[in-house]
Amino acid sequence: DDDDDDDGEAALMWRRRDHAQQLRLAAHAALCRLHLASGKPKRALRAARDAIADGFDVWDVRDARAVALARRGEWDRAMHTFRQAASAIAEAVAALRGGEELPPWWRGV
């Protein structure tokens, strides 16, 4: 039946889109962490801004890799990634804001 074929193609398209989004989010979060670890908070913030410009907020970045790991049943790694990605963006913003207190919604976990 043609309708079944269309449904299967649509599902495949959504899975590919979801996977591509997760990869982009993981890349943004990884760049934030890399720049922070290298002592380059301005570059880390640029990576965070790129993530936001790409349509992702701190919750998306925090969740992306964690969701992928959780789907594979890797719960400990998922939680670690969840916290790491959120704190990377929060630290980048804090560093550029001169260590000001961040709003509660940046803290996340």
pLDDT digits (tens, 9 = 90+) for 3-53: 555 667 777 777 777 667 767 777 777 777 777 777 776 777 777 677 766
Q: Averaged over 99-107, what is the pLDDT?
A: 50
Q: Averaged over 86-94, what is the pLDDT?
A: 62
DSSP state of 101: P
- Residue 106: what pLDDT? 45
Report residue 67 as tokens. 């969701």
Sequence spans of domains, the chain: 2-107
* Residue pair 82/26 in contact by the 8 Å Cβ criterion: no
Number of H helices, E strands in the chain: 5, 0
